[in-house]
Amino acid sequence: MQRKPAAATAFALLRSDQWIKNCFVFSGLLFGERLHDLTNLGNALVVFGLFCAVASAGYIHNDLSDREGDRSHPEKCDRPIASGLVSVTSARLVQTALLALGLGGALLMGTEILLYIGAYVILNFAYTALLKHVVVVDVMTIGVGFVIRVLVGCAAVGATASVWLLLCTFLLALFLGFGKRRHELLILEAKHVDHRPVLGHYGVRFLDQMIGVVSAVTIVCYIMYTVSPETEARHGNTHLVYTVPLVLHGLFRYDFLVYRQSLGGNPTSIVVKDIPLLTTVLVWVLACIGILYLT
């Protein structure tokens, strides 16, 4: 087996490609209308970095726990720990250093930031130890992790998170999570129980139902957010409703990729690599900036 370059191994160990998920930290900056404030922008960037550190520590912890099962997975078997490129001892040292960096930095940022990041760390350990083995709860736990990202981002810039925004975030994470479980069931076929025992409690038909329900509720929830009195009071208008078609296209495009292209195993990779979906996300962000800051 050809040995990977050290940098590639390090990025793979940290799962840096997953850091895009931490962009939810910037929700408070965007929807709290603080994007033009350099101090708040700096605080959001620092919290983003701290969250990347603890998230990578969580990935390492999970990879250490799953290393035997990952060896039977057609894609995850190439991960540094499962493949033997990184020893267990080295991985533990890196994990400890990342936790020290993330929690230490959060402490310097303030008690509220520390509480949120600390809660995320605890949630990750609970997920690895227990929650990922409980059907449906495993995906809901991932959703809570995304909500924490939004909350810590709002705390960093002194914004108050909208309940509707938190609900949209949670539901979107469920949508992506159930799509990922569906992909795992299909790609692993009869070996899915060996890799992740909880998959034995799922079924493709059940997951299809969950994806359908969650995607519909996500759309309704986002529409309610854009036209709610709270949103009008915050921003002075309900013009965010004009971004609904972009959200519809994004969800429908992702559905197409999951059902027609048999993707869904790595949501962040899909967003980055699928040009129509990536374009939709970028246009949505620009549209939100234009509506919130220029109208």
Q: Mean per-residue pLDDT for 76-88?
A: 82
What is the C-alpha to C-alpha distance for residues 204 and 143, in angstroms, rounded to an integer?
20
Neighbours of 95 (CB within 10 A): 20
143 and 168 together in one domain: no
pLDDT above 50: residue 19: yes
58 occurs within a structural domain: yes
Tell me, what's the pLDDT at 202?
86
41 and 132 together in one domain: yes
Q: Label residue 1 by pLDDT band (50, 70, 90).
A: very low
Tell me, what's the pLDDT at 184?
83
Q: Mean per-residue pLDDT for 122-140?
A: 93
177 and 224 together in one domain: yes
Q: How many domains does the chain have?
A: 2
Beta carbons of 198 and 135 less than 8 angstroms apart: yes
3 occurs within a structural domain: no
DSSP 261: S
Asked which of 91-95, 179-183, 218-222 is least confident by mean pLDDT, the reply is 179-183
Q: 141-145, long-range: CB within 8 Å, 24+ apart, which pairs?
A: 142/173, 142/174, 142/177, 143/169, 143/170, 143/171, 143/173, 143/174, 143/177, 144/170, 145/120, 145/173
Tell me, what's the pLDDT at 57?
94
Tell me, what's the pLDDT at 190?
52
Beta carbons of 49 and 56 less than 8 angstroms apart: no
Q: Is 238 helix (H, G, I), strand (E, B) or coil?
A: coil
42 and 111 together in one domain: yes
Burial of 3 (0-12, 13-18, 19+ CB in 10 A): exposed
pLDDT above 80: residue 73: no
Tell me, what's the pLDDT at 51?
95
What is the C-alpha to C-alpha distance for residues 220 and 222, in angstroms, rounded to an integer?
5
What is the C-alpha to C-alpha distance for residues 46 and 8, in angstroms, rounded to an integer?
24
Tell me, what's the pLDDT at 285?
96
Beta carbons of 157 and 44 less than 8 angstroms apart: yes
Q: Is 71 helix (H, G, I), strand (E, B) or coil?
A: coil
Neighbours of 163 (CB within 10 A): 11
For residue 145, give both structure tokens. Answer: 């992790």
Q: Which of 94, 126, 156 is the last residue of a domain?
A: 156
* Containing structural domain, residue 139: 19-156
pLDDT above 90: residue 79: no
279 occurs within a structural domain: yes
For residue 117, give both structure tokens. Answer: 């990041």
Q: Mean per-residue pLDDT for 17-34?
A: 92
pLDDT above 50: residue 13: yes
Q: Mean per-residue pLDDT for 248-252?
A: 95
Tell me, what's the pLDDT at 185?
84
Beta carbons of 155 and 112 less than 8 angstroms apart: yes
Tell me, what's the pLDDT at 67?
81
29 occurs within a structural domain: yes
49 and 143 together in one domain: yes
Per-chain mean pLDDT for the chain: 89
The CATH number of the domain holding residue 55 is: 1.10.357.140
113 and 174 together in one domain: no
Q: Which of 133, 156, 179 is the last residue of a domain?
A: 156
For the whole model, what pTM was predicted? Answer: 0.90
Tell me, what's the pLDDT at 196?
66
Beta carbons of 66 and 197 less than 8 angstroms apart: no
135 and 237 together in one domain: no
Instruction: Give residues with Cβ within 8 angstroms of 43, minimum separation 6.
Output: 109, 156, 157
193 and 141 together in one domain: no
The four Cα atoms 277, 281, 287, 291 give a dihedral, to 10 degrees, of 140
Q: Mean per-residue pLDDT for 51-78?
A: 83
pLDDT above 60: residue 49: yes
pLDDT digits (tens, 9 = 90+) for 147-200: 999 999 999 999 998 999 999 999 999 999 999 888 888 877 655 555 567 787
Tell me, what's the pLDDT at 194?
54
pLDDT digits (tens, 9 = 90+) for 181-190: 888 888 776 5
The rounded percent of the chain whose pLDDT value lies above 70 is 93
Q: Which of 132, 156, 180 is the last residue of a domain?
A: 156
